[in-house]
Structures are given as C-alpha cells and as structure tokens.
Amino acid sequence: MQVYDPTGAVGPPASERAGSPAVLAGKRIGILDNTKPNAGLLLDRIAHRLAERTGAEVTVVEKKNAALAAPDQVLGRLIDEVDLVLTGSAD
C-alpha cells in the first residue's frame, strides 16, 4: 500500500493585498461586474454611495461570463482606469 501525504504545496504562494487608500475623495472606483443576477446592482449601489459620501468617481467594467476569470484586457482596463476595485457576486 502506498500512502500519499496531502500536505504538499498546491499553488503559488499567497500574495498580499494592496493597502486601502486613506481618503477616497478624487479616487476612481471600478466595479468588476461578473454579470451574475443582482451582482451589478449590489456593487453599483455600494460604489455610488461611496462616491456620494467621498467625492469619488465610479466606473463600471463588466466581464461577460461569471464562470471564467476576467480576461487580460478587462484587468488591464482596471489597472489603467481606476484606483480601487469593488467585486463580488450575488444570486
């Protein structure tokens, strides 16, 4: 009988998240909408409430398939056009 050790490395090491900006005034908030039902509505409302309270600007970026990772051109657009991104999903 051969026994395998399940504790081996599975993927690349975890990366650290970027720090949150101290002030949102003048920042550009991107919404990465995966087109799942209600995800865009939820993210849009959160982003616009943040914008109203802080003076930030909102940009919506939509990827077309919730089952796949965002394409490189979508991620590139986020890098070029926004300072922070809201993403998530809802059904």
C-alpha 4/C-alpha 64 separation (Å) is: 40
Asked if residue 46 is part of any domain, the answer here is yes
45 inside domain: yes
Tell me, yes or no, whether 42 lies in a domain.
yes
What is the model's pLDDT at position 91?
Answer: 62
d(CA 61, CA 81): 10
Residue 14 lies in a domain: no
- Domain membership of residue 37 (yes or no) is yes
**What's the N-to-C CA distance of the chain in angstroms?**
45
Tell me if 18 is assigned to some domain. Answer: no
pLDDT number for residue 22: 83
> What local confidence, expressed as pLDDT, does residue 15 receive?
79
pLDDT of residue 14: 76
Residue-number span of the structural domain to which 66 is assigned: 28-87
Contact status, residue 29 vs residue 23, Cβ threshold 8 Å? no
Number of domains in the chain: 1
Q: What is the average pLDDT across 4-19?
A: 77
Say if 23 falls within a structural domain: no
pLDDT, tens digit, 9 for 90 and up, residues 45-81? 888 898 999 999 988 777 777 778 888 888 888 889 8
The SS3 assignment for 26 reads coil
